[in-house]
Amino acid sequence: MPAAEVTAVSDVGPQLRRALLACWTEVSNAGGAVGFVPPVTEDDVEPVLDALLGRVAQGREQLVVVKVGGELAGWAVLSLSVSPLRRHWATVLRVQVHPARQGQGLGRVLMTGVHDAARALGLEMLHLTVRGGYGLEGFYAGLGYREFGRMPGAIRLGPGDDREEVHLYAVL
C-alpha cells in the first residue's frame, strides 16, 4: 500500500475543491454509490459539492481527505447533528476513493482516519448507509460496523432498479 496521509479539513481552497469535484465525478461515473447515477458531469456534481463545502465552512460537517504523494486519493464527510440529543454521534457520507487508487487499501485507511477525526470531535458512535447489491456491508463489518436495518426500495437508480438502503453503525 502506498504511503497515505489522512487529515480533517475545514478550510477548502480552490485546488482542493477542484480535486474533490474531479474525484466525486470520476467515482460516480465508475459506478460508485456516492449520491449520483452515471453518467454525470462536473456541472452536475458542482452544486452539490458547493452545498457540502458550505456546511463544512459552517462547522456542520467535517471533511476528511486521504492523500497519496500530496494528491487527493479519496475523501469522506462526517455530518454532525445540531440536535443536543444526538451530538455524541455523526453520519458518515460520501465515502470514496478515486478509481485509479482503488484496490490499494485506501478505503480502510480513509475510514480509520474518519474514526480518528470523529474521536477528536468527541464523538462516540458513527452511522452510515450503503446501497444494497454492492457488497459493501462486508467491508464495513471489517471496520466494526453492524447492520441495524434495511429500507427496501429506498434508492432508485433507474426505472425498475430500486435498491435497499442498508443502515450500519459503529461504536468508537
pLDDT (average), residues 18-35: 97
Dihedral over Cα of 59, 8, 10, 24: its sign: negative
pLDDT, residue 45, reads 98
Q: Phi first, then psi: what are they for 5, rounded to 5°?
A: -120, 125
pLDDT (average), residues 88-104: 97
pLDDT, residue 1, reads 67
Tell me what percent of the residues of the chain surpass a pLDDT of 90.
97
10 to 14, 16, 64: CA distances (angstroms): 13, 11, 9
Q: Phi first, then psi: what are they for 132, rounded to 5°?
A: -65, 150
Helix (H, G, I), strand (E, B) or coil at 129: strand
Q: Over 28-71, what HEC string results?
A: HHCCCCCCCCCCCCHHHHHHHHHHHHHHHHCCCEEEEEEEECCE
Average pLDDT, the chain: 97
